[in-house]
Amino acid sequence: MKEKVNEIKRQFDKDVLGVTDAKTLNDIRVKYLGKQGMVTELSKMMKEVSSAQKKEFGMLVNEVRCHVTNALEEKKEALEKEALDKELASEKIDITLPATKIPQGSANILERMIEEIEQVCMSMGYDVVDGPEIEEDHYNFELLNIPKNHPARDAQDTFYVEGDRLLLRSQTSPVQARVMLANKGEKPIRMICPGKTYRRDDDDATHSHQFMQIEGLLVDKDISLSDLKGTFDVIAKKLFGDDIKTRFRPSYYPFTEPSVETDISCFNCHGKGCNICKNTGWITVSGAGMVNPKVLEDCGYDPKVWSGFAFGFGAERLAMLKYGINDIRTFYNTDLRELKNFDRKEGE
């Protein structure tokens, strides 16, 4: 009897030794501990053992059952560990391999130019506002003192959308009229409006049928041309450097009186003369002036109480100057090599 028990134990040890997978291990468990398993059968034999030997036989069977149970458990753990180690090894990451490069996007240079102006103006308390691109002739021209047949209309060859009433705005100046009317002649105004504008211009290196302007308007009490000069000075220095000088030249716009062209000293040659400033030492960057009293009045502001100034930048022109770009169409093409070039220029 004792021999039989030991034989089962030996056989089990042999069986378990070479097991390499969970399925075989389970088969072995069934073979020894299942309902008709060999160890289970041993227990059933208790009935046949004489009472004198029962104790010893019981102990033997128990011992072998413990041995089988523990060995199965140990083997199970070992197999699991082995599987995990294998998995970990196969998933090992080689951190010395070069990483996949994810190309980084960036804002278009024109957008960044506009953001720069927005930042400067916001730091002086200006709001950034929006206006419609499909505009009424009334706002785009009439309220800005450009009635029908006014020669100033010729300079802005306009896309009409519907008869002669609706058009694609040819300038951002109509937003001045909209903001003044919205404030009902009661409140001071400080606003800028960057936005798209449209003209039937021939597309060439410096003209595009669609371009961006940045309009500025300040209305308050006791505002004079020197306030405009001071404001322009701050903007020019922030955009082009602290050593930049500014000057005004007389000009004409129907909605400002007096009107000026604003110049900055050439940031490239510092006045010596180069091809950027066409050897004049100066570069024109915007139109500006004191808001015409007629415009103030038509837009609901009493010109005896209120005065103001306005300015209008061409965003592409500024960016072209600042980054040495000579074709306006570069901003609107989708050639990544060109756009990446801008990133480099900005990093200089």
Structure tokens at 188: 């001071």
Q: Does 308 bind ligand DAH (CB under 6 A)?
A: no
Residues 252-281 that bind ligand DAH (CB under 6 A): 253, 256
Residue 254 CB, nearest approach to ligand DAH (Å): 10
Residues 197-216, mask of contacts with ligand DAH (x by CB under 6 A): ------------------x-
Single residue of 140, 312, 318, 319 touching ligand DAH by CB under 6 A: 312
The residues pairing with 282 across neighbouring beta strands, listed in sequence order, are 265
Count helices and strands in the chain by DSSP H and E runs:
11, 10
The answer to whether 305 and 296 have CB atoms below 8 angstroms apart is: no
DSSP, residue by residue, 133-182 = SEEEHHHHTGGGT--TT-GGGGGS-PPEEETTTEEE-SSSTHHHHHHHHH
**C-beta closer to ligand DAH: residue 131 or 312:** 312
Residue 151 CB, nearest approach to ligand DAH (Å): 14
**C-beta closer to ligand DAH: residue 76 or 229:** 229
Structure tokens at 244: 């930049």
Q: Does 320 bind ligand DAH (CB under 6 A)?
A: no
Residues 152-171 that bind ligand DAH (CB under 6 A): 171
Single residue of 42, 310, 315, 318 touching ligand DAH by CB under 6 A: 310
Residue 200 CB, nearest approach to ligand DAH (Å): 14
**C-beta closer to ligand DAH: residue 145 or 171:** 171
Q: Please count the other Cβ atoms lying within 10 Å of the Cβ belonging to residue 269.
A: 14
The residues pairing with 192 across neighbouring beta strands, listed in sequence order, are 128, 216
Binding residue count for ligand DAH, defined by CB under 6 A: 11
Tokens 């560990």 belong to 81
Q: Does 173 bind ligand DAH (CB under 6 A)?
A: yes
Cα 347 to Cα 109, 326, 340, 342: the distances in Å are 12, 19, 11, 9
- Please report, as ranges, the residues that interact with ligand DAH according to CB under 6 A: 171, 173, 215, 253, 256, 287-289, 310-312
